[in-house]
Amino acid sequence: MLRVLFIIIAVSQLIFSADLVIEINGKADPALDKKIRAALDLVHADRFSEALRVFEGIKKQYPSHPAGYFFTAATIDAKMAFYMSAGEEKEFTANCEKAIELGEAAMQSNPDDMWNLFFTGGSYGTLGSFQGRYKRYITSFRNGLSGVDLLKQVYKRDPRFSDALFGMGVYTYWSSKLSKLLWWMPGVGDNREEGIQQLKKAANDGIYAAVPAVINLAQVLNLEGRYDEALKVTQEWLVKYPDNRALSFYAGEAHAAKGELDKALAIFEEILAYADAEDRNNNVHSLKCHASIAAIYEKKKNNLFALAHCKRGLMYGFKEPDLQITKEYSDQLRAISARVKAKAYPSR
């Protein structure tokens, strides 16, 4: 359930208001701002290697500032989420920890540096994003809370940082959604609607956070049964980023839930084809697609195709940490297979 959960705190925390320009050590840097905007556009188009080259250059340009390390970590996290892989965890974690180290040190000498607060909070959130996907809930929410506390400070001091509501919205929604697991966390209650509204504002008013806010918003709207709203936000952004798999997948989920099975099937089959054609494919994304497609064929009472997709999906073998993600989809395929066999082939 948390697969995209804080994912997006990664690229998510990139929140600059339209009339704000990034500052490094108190000095505005319009050229850097332009460079970051262009690189993030590459991230949203799933062109991670190109974006990483830009952010590695920023690290070299500003080696004592957390910005470059944060953006590098956020892009690696987005890449791992895209491939549903933890293969670059070591490099990702190192960049998060370096950004936090630099940011915390800078806060000691200049606690009012808003951009430093932002990047430090974003780095905590990015780390929580990854940990949440792999069900490391305690450390995930602790890091998420540390990040949100800093983002709240930024937004309170300067409401022009409206994109800060993205990280706040992710944390508010998911801490509420998982409140039974997080009974020990302070201030946890059912604040899901508040989180949704924060995500909506980030999606509408954000600059760099708009796309990750939309992705996470679509996910939670589907979880809340608000499928028309999910379709509206995904379709709007798919015009600009037609190849964005996360947006496409949540649009497919919404169509399936609304009974628009052929539309959903076309989306999932296209995503499956792209996943299988990737040179880098650990089969997690393929498994997820097989589970969605099998569920559709079961609803269409096409037992042969439903069983075929169950069998294909269950042929994959996974190891940790991928098992943390794949169990949900494998269990779904086993359940579909059992139901279809019981109805269509009771004597076998």
Mean pLDDT of 206-235: 92
Whether residue 112 sits in one domain with residue 132: yes
pLDDT at residue 344 tops 90: no
How far is the CA of 31 from the CAs of 14, 36, 68, 208, 341, in angstroms?
16, 9, 14, 16, 61
Confirm whether 132 is domain-assigned.
yes
Whether residue 234 sits in one domain with residue 206: yes
Whether residue 317 sits in one domain with residue 240: no
- In this predicted structure, what is the pLDDT of residue 129? 80
The residue among 316, 283, 295, 213 whose CA lies nearest residue 252 is 295
Q: What is the total count of domains within the chain?
A: 2
Give the domain range for residue 298: 259-348
Whether residue 196 sits in one domain with residue 286: no
Start-end of H helices in the chain:
9-12, 30-44, 48-61, 66-83, 89-109, 114-133, 137-157, 164-177, 192-205, 210-223, 227-238, 245-257, 261-277, 284-299, 303-314, 323-344
Confirm whether 3 is domain-assigned.
no
**Range with the poorest average pLDDT among 4-13, 18-27, 181-190, 244-253:** 4-13
Please report which helix (H) or strand (E) contains residue 346, including its range: none
Confidence at 138, pLDDT banded by 50, 70, 90 = confident
Whether residue 139 sits in one domain with residue 67: yes
Give percent of the chain above pLDDT 90: 59
Cβ neighbours, 10 Å, residue 70: 31
Whether residue 300 sits in one domain with residue 198: no
Confirm whether 1 is domain-assigned.
no
Residue with more model confidence, 120 or 11: 120
Mean pLDDT of 66-82: 93
Confidence at 204, pLDDT banded by 50, 70, 90 = confident
Confirm whether 279 is domain-assigned.
yes
Read off the DSSP letter of residue 8. Answer: T
pTM: 0.86
How far is the CA of 187 from the CAs of 5, 128, 143, 190, in angstroms?
19, 18, 15, 10
Mean pLDDT of the chain, nearest integer: 88
**285-333, pLDDT tens digit by residue?**
899 999 999 999 999 999 999 999 999 999 998 888 888 889 999 999 9
- In this predicted structure, what is the pLDDT of residue 4? 43
pLDDT at residue 259 tops 90: yes
| CATH (domain of 253) | 1.25.40.10
Confidence at 228, pLDDT banded by 50, 70, 90 = very high
Cis peptide, bond prior to residue 30, ω within 30 of zero: no
Confirm whether 2 is domain-assigned.
no
Whether residue 254 sits in one domain with residue 274: no
pLDDT at residue 14 tops 50: no
Confirm whether 53 is domain-assigned.
yes
CA 87, 91, 96, 97 dihedral sign is positive
Whether residue 219 sits in one domain with residue 188: yes
Whether residue 287 sits in one domain with residue 168: no
| Packing angle of the helix pair 284-299, 323-344 (nearest 10 deg) | 30
One-letter identity of residue 296? I
Domain boundary, last residue among 258, 282, 312: 258
pLDDT at residue 105 tops 90: yes
Confirm whether 168 is domain-assigned.
yes
Domain boundary, last residue among 258, 276, 308: 258
pLDDT at residue 152 tops 70: yes
Residue written as token pair 């075929």: 308
pLDDT at residue 256 tops 70: yes
| 23 beta partners | 28
Whether residue 273 sits in one domain with residue 218: no
- In this predicted structure, what is the pLDDT of residue 319? 84
Mean pLDDT of 252-270: 97
Whether residue 163 sits in one domain with residue 16: yes
How far is the CA of 27 from the CAs of 13, 31, 114, 115, 223, in angstroms?
21, 12, 12, 10, 43
Whether residue 241 sits in one domain with residue 117: yes
Residue written as token pair 């990040």: 147
Q: Do 267 and 248 touch, CB atoms closer than 8 A? A: yes
One-letter identity of residue 145? L
- In this predicted structure, what is the pLDDT of residue 177? 83
Residue with more model confidence, 133 or 238: 238
Confirm whether 325 is domain-assigned.
yes
How far is the C-alpha of 107 from the C-alpha of 120, rounded, in Å? 9
**What does the radius of gyration of the chain's CA atoms come to, in whole angstroms?**
20
Domain boundary, last residue among 241, 258, 275: 258
How far is the C-alpha of 181 from the C-alpha of 132, rounded, in Å? 13
